[in-house]
């Protein structure tokens, strides 16, 4: 079978050897609370590169200490983080994988001691801490923190950067009317709620010329929240700003009941791809090679982001190849051993 899942995919100057992405998943494993990589991270990511993922995307890495989801999050807020990231990137590339990092700020969903921040002083739920509303100057500082993080990602040698604008974290909090009740230039209208993301993209583009992805939550699952059609408009704006691909997830800006089933988010990726004219990644309960192949062959997405299936099976690309009746190359290190 001539499987599209194992065809190369080129974005700008980066060619990914197949369409399989290890989706970013927080591991909460920085035990020193310093945001630095541990041996666990090296084992975790390198094993998936050996397993032949085309693109390995590191988990959400905080652009400020205050922007961590938990004290154990990876960080990219300091130049002290560059050395460890650079070493990991080099190892991942040695197994043929391209590399990406998701840079993020948790906003009101940070579970930390001390002050947390958000566009408005509204807690996520009744058990969560009430955040401080960011001032205009603090917003500008946050934009600069994203730019500095992108510079560090570049110095570490990553091929791709993804901005985390999903799952109820800071950028998503600004986008959604459920969490953004501001009355200044960052609130009220859709254009104003987009302003933080717009400024972050502009700032990152000043120092980054590689592929740029943005992860979004394309449905707030709330009658007063954002719906997929809103993200078609946002995606058009992002495309105009030079964003290369929208990584399409959903939910988590407010507590909501979500009807989860295999491929439940794929229609959102399909809508954005074909109405905004921008490449998309599909994610969410994609577990079988035939399922992934159908998504690609039917033109509903350009890349497959696999998450929990990679936790269950670090060699999932090989499993998918068997399911599709095709063969894929082994890491060069394995080939040497067979000669």
Name the strand (E) or helix (H) holding 141: helix 136-156
**For residues 162 and 101, is the Cβ–Cβ distance under 8 A?**
yes
Confidence of residue 330 (pLDDT cuts 50, 70, 90): confident
Domain boundaries, the chain: 4-338
Confidence of residue 329 (pLDDT cuts 50, 70, 90): confident
**Statement: residue 279 has pLDDT above 80:** yes
**Statement: residue 321 has pLDDT above 70:** yes
Mean pLDDT within 73-91: 98
Cα 35 to Cα 25, 46, 65, 71, 116: the distances in Å are: 15, 19, 8, 8, 17
Q: How far apart are CA 232 and CA 221, in angstroms?
A: 16
The pair of structure tokens assigned to 179 is: 């969490």
Confidence of residue 336 (pLDDT cuts 50, 70, 90): low
Mean pLDDT within 286-302: 98
- Work out the percent of the chain whose per-residue pLDDT is above 70: 98
**For residues 99 and 74, is the Cβ–Cβ distance under 8 A?**
no
Q: List beta partners, residue 163.
A: 103, 214
CA angle, 160 then 166 then 168, to 5°: 145
The per-residue pLDDT for range 8-53, each reduced to its tens digit, is: 999 999 999 999 999 999 999 998 999 999 999 999 999 999 999 9
**For residues 55 and 99, is the Cβ–Cβ distance under 8 A?**
yes
Q: How far apart are CA 165 and CA 268, in angstroms?
A: 15
CA angle, 134 then 140 then 142, to 5°: 70
54 closest CA partner among 248, 318, 327: 318
The per-residue pLDDT for range 143-171, each reduced to its tens digit, is: 999 999 999 999 999 999 999 999 999 99
Confidence of residue 2 (pLDDT cuts 50, 70, 90): confident
Averaged pLDDT of the chain: 96
**Statement: residue 234 has pLDDT above 90:** yes
pLDDT at 337: 54
**Statement: residue 335 has pLDDT above 80:** no
Mean pLDDT within 92-98: 96
CA angle, 290 then 296 then 298, to 5°: 95
The pair of structure tokens assigned to 38 is: 């541990």
The pair of structure tokens assigned to 328 is: 């894929």
Q: Is 121 or 2 the better-scoring residue by pLDDT? A: 121
**For residues 77 and 63, is the Cβ–Cβ distance under 8 A?**
yes
**For residues 207 and 251, is the Cβ–Cβ distance under 8 A?**
no
Q: How far apart are CA 246 and CA 269, in angstroms?
A: 8
CATH superfamily of 4-338: Aldolase class I (3.20.20.70)
Most distant CA pair in the chain: distance in Å?
67
pTM: 0.97
Residue with tokens 């929240």: 225
Mean pLDDT within 233-247: 98
Q: List beta partners, residue 303.
A: 281
pLDDT at 246: 99
């Amino acid at each position: 079978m001539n499987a599209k899942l194992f065809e190369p995919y080129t974005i700008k100057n980066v060619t990914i050897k197949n369409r399989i992405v290890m989706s970013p998943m927080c591991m909460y494993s920085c035990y020193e609370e310093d945001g630095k990589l541990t041996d666990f991270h090296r084992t975790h990511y390198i094993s998936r590169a050996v397993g032949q993922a085309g693109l390995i995307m590191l988990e959400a890495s905080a652009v400020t200490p205050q922007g961590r989801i938990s004290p154990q999050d990876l960080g990219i807020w300091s130049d002290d983080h560059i050395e460890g990231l650079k070493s990991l990137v080099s190892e991942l590339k040695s197994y043929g994988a391209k590399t990406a990092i998701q840079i993020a700020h948790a906003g009101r969903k940070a579970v930390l001691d001390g002050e947390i921040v958000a566009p408005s002083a509204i807690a996520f739920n009744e058990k969560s801490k009430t955040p401080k509303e960011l001032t205009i100057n603090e917003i500008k500082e946050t934009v600069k923190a994203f730019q500095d993080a992108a510079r560090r990602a570049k110095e570490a040698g990553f091929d791709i950067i993804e901005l985390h604008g999903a799952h109820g974290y800071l950028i998503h909090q600004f986008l959604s009317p459920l969490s953004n009740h501001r009355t200044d230039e960052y609130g009220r209208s859709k254009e104003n709620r987009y302003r933080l993301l717009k400024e972050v993209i502009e700032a990152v583009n000043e120092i980054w010329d590689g592929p740029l992805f943005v992860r979004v939550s394309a449905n707030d699952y709330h009658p007063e929240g954002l719906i997929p059609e809103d993200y078609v408009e946002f995606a058009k704006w992002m495309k105009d700003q030079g964003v290369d691909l929208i990584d399409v997830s959903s939910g988590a800006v407010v507590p909501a009941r979500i009807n989860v089933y295999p491929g439940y988010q794929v229609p959102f990726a399909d809508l954005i791809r074909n109405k905004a004219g921008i490449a998309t990644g599909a994610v969410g309960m994609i577990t079988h090679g035939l399922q992934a192949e159908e998504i690609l062959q039917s033109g509903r997405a350009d890349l497959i982001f696999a998450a929990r299936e990679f936790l269950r099976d670090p060699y999932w690309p090989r499993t998918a190849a068997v399911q599709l009746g095709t063969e894929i190359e082994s890491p060069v290190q394995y080939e040497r051993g067979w000669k």
